Structure formats: structure tokens, C-alpha cells
Structure 1
Amino acid sequence: MTAREWESLCDGCGKCCMSKLIDEDTEEILYTTVACRLFDAASCRCTDYENRQAKVADCVRLTPDNVGEIVWLPGTCAYRLVAEGRPLYDWHPLVSGDPMSVHEAGISVFGRVTAREQDMAHDGEYLDHLVGGEL
């Protein structure tokens, strides 16, 4: 798969751009509605994708080599599905031909961002933005 083909797998859901917490006791992943400072909630895309890793220290670059190790990727993630040899969902833009289908299907975080990481004064504030299960 070429780099361009790999990048085309992104469905634009925005879930990977939301802050996640890990319970130190159980190692459970806790999802929040707190967006990365580079996240554009209107488009569900990064505002500076090319430079994101230089600007956001904990931004993870998904690759074919590491995608299977990233436990917080949602079950709907196309990168994860492809790595597991599973098909893309009907709402995925590569299948539907419509970049809005991910939002229309309610899969994206469109309209669900409640805070931005730069607005969090301390780690405890993230708890106010937890969601049950995956986003």
C-alpha cells in the first residue's frame, strides 16, 4: 500500500484527535470529548496535519507497522480494520463515495467536542468530559 493509499483510509471521524485517559489501576482506556488543540471541530480534521507531531508532543502517527499496537483506536477505525483484515463499513467515504457519510452515520465526533485541551487547567478537569465506552 502506498503512503497516499494509507492516508486515504482516514474516514475523518476525529476520534483519534480526542484526549484519552488510562486508568492506572485497570489500564482501561477512558474516552473524553476534549479535542486536541489542532483539531477543527467543524471539519473533524487537523488544522496542521503536516506539522502536527512537531506541535503536539503526544500526537501518534499511525503506520502499518504500529497500528496493531495502538489499543485506543476505535473498533470503527479503518486503519485498524485493514490491519485486522476486515472490510470497511458502508459509511466509510471510500465505500460510500461521500466524505460526509461518516458524519451522517453518527460515527464521527462532529458536534460532540465539549472542550479543548488548552482549556484544561489540570488533569482532573478531563474527568468532567468522560464518555461511556468508545466515542
Structure 2
Amino acid sequence: MSTEAPFWKTKSLEQMDSAEWESLCDGCGRCCLVKLEDEDSGQIAYTDIGCKLLDDFGCRCRDYPNRQAQVPDCVRLTPEAVRSLGWLPPSCGYRLVAEGRDLYWWHPLVSGDPESVHAAGVSVRKRVAALEDELPLGDYLDHLVRWPTRLPKGAARGTGAARGTGRKAAKV
């Protein structure tokens, strides 16, 4: 059994190689939900509408390598972006590491199981009402939700858990 600390505890986001960087994604799909920004206040609101490329069962992008060509406003996460994007979910592995916090017990890097994020109720699985190309933009305000900004009960507890940490519309 290794006593060496895991890479996310010893490396900065900038020091990670591409495999380490990609593995920080827990596969929750929350960042792939359509978010609306109030043009006056800048406040971000989540919807239960998924990006047109979101596999709402697997909670991953259906065309990750080509996502930005198909969805021009898809945000590519970089260390700089992670530190500046206020809409990343509080459970996001990138956000947690950037803030110097540990990953939750259900993160696949901790649990060893990619299904643990779903079992903990953190993912968007069975919570996406529609994909963005299935609804007219005018219906988006009917799909505002708060759950993507919160951890489900019990998701912050468990072995290896870090303690949890909160119109006019334009699509973000």
C-alpha cells in the first residue's frame, strides 16, 4: 500500500499532466447544464436543461474532442478559467483542488468507482428535463433550479470526504 499522497494533493492545477487534469472531472455533468446570466446583475442561474451534447445518463459529453466546434460557447476549462468561473459547482473537482480542498469520498479518484458520483446523488443523471436543442429559448426560464449549486444530503459525509463549503436572460 502506497503512502504517497495523491497527485491532486501535491500538484497545482498547472503542474498536472493531461491525464491527471482530465481525471479531476468527476463526471457529474453539472457544468454541462445551461446557465442563465442576468444581464443587469451578472447573477448566474442554473437550469435543468442540458447542453445538446450531454449524455444525460452517462453525464459526459457525447463528442468531447469536438465539443467546441459544435457548441461555440462551450467553456474549455483551464487552471485560469477554473479560478475565475463563479458558476462551477461547489462539488467540482477542479474547483476543490484550486481552492486547496480535498475531493469528496464519491469522486472516482477517491472511491475508485465512476458510478459513485451517481450513487451519491451528485450527478445530473435522471435530473435533466431536456437538452437545449429540444426547447425554445423562451422556455428556459421555466427550468430554473437550485440543486446544481448544492450538495445532496450525505454527499459531504463518508470516508475521505472533505467538508462542504450558494429577468432577462442570456445563455452562458
TM-score by length of structure 1 reads 0.94
Q: Tell me if 1:18 matches 2:36.
A: no
Superposition pairs of residues 96-111 of structure 1, within 5 angstroms: 96-111=111-126
**Regions of 4+ moved over 4 Å:** none
Per-residue deviation at 1:75?
0.6
Q: Which runs of 5+ in 1 are unaligned?
A: none
Superposition pairs of residues 45-60 of structure 1, within 5 angstroms: 45-60=60-75
Instruction: Output the aligned Cα RMSD.
Output: 1.2
Number of aligned residues? 134
Superposition pairs of residues 86-125 of structure 1, within 5 angstroms: 86-121=101-136, 123-125=137-139
Q: Which runs of 5+ in 2 are unaligned?
A: 1-15, 151-172
Deviations 1:59-88 (A, max 9, x none): 011111221011110110000011111100
Aligned counterparts of 2:146 and 2:82: Cα–Cα separation in 1: 23
Per-residue deviation at 1:132?
2.5
Larger Rg: 2
* Percent of aligned pairs sharing the same letter: 62
> Relative contact order (alpha carbons < 8 A, sep ≥ 6): 1 or 2 greater?
1
Aligned to 2:54: 39
Secondary structure of residue in 2 paired with 1:85 = coil
Aligned to 1:4: 19
TM-score by length of structure 2 reads 0.75
Per-residue deviation at 1:26?
2.4
Aligned counterparts of 1:56 and 1:96: Cα–Cα separation in 2: 32
